[in-house]
Amino acid sequence: MNFASVIVDVAAKQTDRAFDYSIPQQWREILVPGMRVIVPFGPRKVQGFVVDVKLETDVKRTKPIAELLDLTPVLTPELLELGHWLTEKTLCFKISAFQVMLPAAMKAKYDKKILLQPGVESSQLHSKVQPYFQHTSEVMWSDIEKSESVNSFYRDIQKGLLEVVYLVKSKGNKKTVKALRLAQPPEHVKQLLQELPKQAEKQKQVLEFMLVQEEVVAQRDIMTVLNVTSAPIKGLVSKGLLHEVDMEIYRDPYANRDFIPSKPFSLTDEQSAAIKPILRDIENHEHDVFLMYGVTGSGKTEVYLQSIDQVLKQGKEAIMLVPEISLTPQMVKRFKERFGSKVAVMHSGLSAGEKYDEWRKIQRKEVSVVVGARSAIFAPFQHVGIIIIDEEHETSYKQEENPRYHARDVAIKRAEFHNCPVILGSATPTLESFARAQKGVYKLLPLRERMNKSALPKVDIVDMREELRDGNRSMFSTLLLEKIRERLERREQIVLFLNKRGHSSFVMCRDCGYVPSCPHCEISLTYHRYQNRMKCHYCGYEELTQTACPECESDHIRFFGSGTQKVEEELGKVLPEASVIRMDVDTTSRKGAHEKLLTKFGNGEAQILLGTQMIAKGLDFPNVTLVGVLSADTMLNLPDFRAAEKTFQLLTQVSGRAGRHHLPGEVVIQTYAPEHYSIQLASQHDYDTFYLEEMKLRQAHRYPPFFYLALVTVSHENVAKVVSVTGKISQYLRQKLSPQAVILGPVASPIAKIKDRYRYQCMIKYKLEPNMIPALKYVVNQYQDQMQQEQLTITIDLHPYSMM
DNA sequence: AGCACGCCGACT
DNA sequence: GTCGGCGTGCTC
């Protein structure tokens, strides 16, 4: 092939198309779509993805491809196609779609440097430039970019004294170690071994070792096994007996850990019934979407494991998605125990290099199972046999940046391609999924019994308003305290859950009601006791905590809300004998801290585990018999039509942590809205009724799953501008879409200002709108120039999860 | 996105 | 006359 169509790494409307390049002779046989290349683009060089190769082009003057970055394509034909689909579905640039499918380490970094042209003396340069070239002939652009001499540099560049060179590096490369192999055939080496001088004892040892080893051995290994230094090895290399090579090694984050192989458990009748249709699909290479609706502790994971096992037996591969937050060591352990080294793990806790290595294992077909968070859905497998999404309702499956995709949609798309089943698993499915299951679009696989037949925990709802009336101003109700004391006495464990979302610890003046808020964002500041500072969680702004109110100068400043730190303190006051482990962003930010704290709790080193969201998922400690939810309704008041659903899911999830084993569990839910149906029904473990209730509301208000949503958010420094642009967009959409579509807006976004930029939005509720995508594309096109020139931003989220 | 090209105001 | 402001348009 003579020409290649390349999508270049420039995310902009005007460059969001393929550019044709000629393929230099030496690569004509090798280059295929899906490879990364470096191409000249204008005056610079950029990375790009080859999407097509062809014999001819309409372009008159093509430039040649400058460099080939891959010998095996990093995107399979399927993934290339998937990229185009993503572009259409999420309205993102092609380059963004491709980039999101690869580990971040493969994204190009650009740099510039300035070279002294050959034959030019530094004395010819501008006086300001000269000192830079005293001892060198090249200067990095970044070193002079901000200096006042930039202009002088420009001048010398124009004069031709200096040359600008554009560099592209695809960093995060393979990690290699120095390794050795025999430089000659073994027989030959055996003979030469005899001829080595007597005193070369160590060299002989090394050679003998090499003769019995696999082809390539890391130098480090030779040194430790034979207890020699590098000297004899060097000697053999210089004699031409050994050859130095680079050996690619993987950073294995789970090395040095023993996994005891586990065998499949025998399934309960319910599990067998659930797995049957899945196995049938695997057998017949058929595609279906299954919604596995199973209460906590019903043994979903075992069904996943055995389905995957079946897929592996067919020589195919499996993708298993779990929410980031529950990608716990416990979870990984279960997979490693069952599938050993066939498993790659991908989550955000890995370094860029580690993620790259896991990705490489997949690409090189060294593993056949990947367990990972959202982005693992793009694993470059070529024979996918099953895709599983655990905790299907989790919001982390929706990416909140471009491309704003939902892993579930990608999973279904990929599974259609591979003709394989998708399993969505949850104890509290999203209404969207459950509704589809009701309609028969998805196949429902119910698991209604807990595996050990243990009853679901008894749930008590405590009305905190009554507590307050009875004079209890603390954050622990009498009932909860009593139950905690009971467990402490019995040496059982307790999990306390604090939903920090909503109003977290903020500060208010009791006299005038003043609440310190961020000067750049419309959001109140959060109090951080540790540094005694107020911080903005959106832009990072911080200030010292005030001791007097800046408005009325009163010193009645009060700290409201209850962060985990404050709960811990109070717990210490009421129950000084209790040992507490606190888990939140502050205590788990260090790598591995999360795991360490959980292990400590598992070992019984503390009796109470206190934490936020992150302790709600996937934890399983046999000794936990009480779960306390400190304030169940903080989430309920969020400006989000899914607030009730999220509350129900969270409460159900948290309750599931209690009494999973032989000890019976109890749950105490503290709330200011005890009569709310989501709280009532969660306490009764009644998903079905919740589903029906919530569906009525969704239908009445025209929300999903009855209507689809699209959210257009406009932001700019100037309020008037934002309002007028949002208004025009709303108007345009009103006129383009059918009368059945509901167009709300312009309205201020729930967070009306972030980082000094005002935010307004237009929300569209629609059912069938073939014009939707074209209309939105048109809108973006119309404001293209303003978006560049005036830093106006318009973001479009189709099927948004967060209204913020 | 960059970057060059090009056309106007204010300085050596 | 030249330097430098940033509007306009292109990148195979």
Model pLDDT for residues A8-50, shown as the tens digit of each residue: 999 988 899 999 999 999 999 999 999 999 999 998 899 999 9
Got the DSSP string for A191-216?
A: HHHHHS-TT-HHHHHHHHHHHHS-S-
The reported pLDDT for the residue numbered A139 is 86
Nucleotide nearest to A112 (CA to C1'): B2
Q: How many whole angstroms separate alpha carbon A607 and alpha carbon A628?
A: 13
| Range among A273-287, A336-350, A610-624, A664-678 rated most confident | A273-287
Q: Report, as an integer, the average pLDDT of A87-92.
A: 94
The reported pLDDT for the residue numbered A660 is 67
Q: How many CA atoms lie within 13 A of A391 on its CB side?
A: 26
Residue ranges near strand B (C-beta within 7 Å): A 10-15, 42-44, 110, 112, 164, 166, 788
Region of poorest pLDDT, from A11-25, A171-185, A196-210, A397-411: A171-185
Kindly indicate the confidence band of residue A672, based on its pLDDT and cuts at 50, 70 and 90.
confident
Q: For strand C, is any atom closer than 7 Å to the CB of A41? A: yes
Do A458-505+561-697 and A708-798 come out as alike in CATH topology?
no
The reported pLDDT for the residue numbered A503 is 41
∠ CA(A330), CA(A613), CA(A494), 5° rounding? 70
What class does CATH assign to A458-505+561-697?
Answer: alpha beta
| Range among A288-297, A368-377, A532-541, A620-629 rated most confident | A368-377
Distance A51 CA to B1 C1' (A): 21
The reported pLDDT for the residue numbered A170 is 67
Of A492, A430, A380, nearest to A101 by C-alpha is A380
The reported pLDDT for the residue numbered A281 is 97
Of A342, A341, A350, A340, nearest to A373 by C-alpha is A350
Chain B bases near protein CB atoms (7 A cut-off) = 1-4
The reported pLDDT for the residue numbered A561 is 56
**Cα–Cα separations (whole angstroms), residue A221 to A62, A177, A182, A236:** 50, 11, 15, 16
Region of poorest pLDDT, from A129-143, A284-298, A412-426: A129-143
Residue nearest to nucleotide C8 (CA to C1'): A785
Of A606, A612, A518, nearest to A565 by C-alpha is A612
Whole-model pTM: value is 0.86
| Confidence check: pLDDT of A302 > 90 | yes
Q: For strand C, is any atom closer than 7 Å to the CB of A786? A: no
Distance A777 CA to B4 C1' (A): 29
Kindly indicate the confidence band of residue A785, based on its pLDDT and cuts at 50, 70 and 90.
confident
> Looking at the domain that runs over A708-798, which CATH code has it been given?
3.30.70.360
> Tell me, what amino acid is at A361?
K
Q: Report, as an integer, the average pLDDT of A49-66.
A: 95
Q: Report, as an integer, the average pLDDT of A383-406.
A: 95
- Over residues A467-503, the pLDDT tens digits come to 888 988 888 999 999 999 999 999 999 999 887 644 4
Would you state the CATH architecture of domain A3-106? Answer: 3-Layer(aba) Sandwich (3.40)
Nucleotide nearest to A166 (CA to C1'): B2
List chain A domain ranges: 3-106, 109-170, 269-447, 458-505+561-697, 708-798
Q: Which residues contact A384 (CB under 8 A, 6 or more apart)?
A: A316, A317, A318, A319, A414, A415, A418, A420
**Cα–Cα separations (whole angstroms), residue A582 to A565, A566, A568, A598:** 8, 11, 7, 10
The reported pLDDT for the residue numbered A628 is 93
Residue nearest to nucleotide C7 (CA to C1'): A789
| Confidence check: pLDDT of A147 > 80 | no
In the predicted model, what is the mean pLDDT of chain A? Answer: 87
Mapped onto helix, strand or coil, the DSSP state of residue A3 is strand
Residue nearest to nucleotide C9 (CA to C1'): A14
Distance A13 CA to C7 C1' (A): 19
The reported pLDDT for the residue numbered A410 is 98
Q: Report, as an integer, the average pLDDT of A627-645.
A: 85
Contact, A437 vs A393, CB < 8 A? Answer: no
The reported pLDDT for the residue numbered A560 is 63
The CATH number fitting domain A269-447, selected from 3.60.15.10, 3.30.2010.10, 3.40.50.300, 3.40.640.10: 3.40.50.300
| Confidence check: pLDDT of A781 > 60 | yes
Question: Which residue has better confidence, A130 or A309?
Answer: A309
Q: How many whole angstroms separate alpha carbon A715 and alpha carbon A274?
A: 48
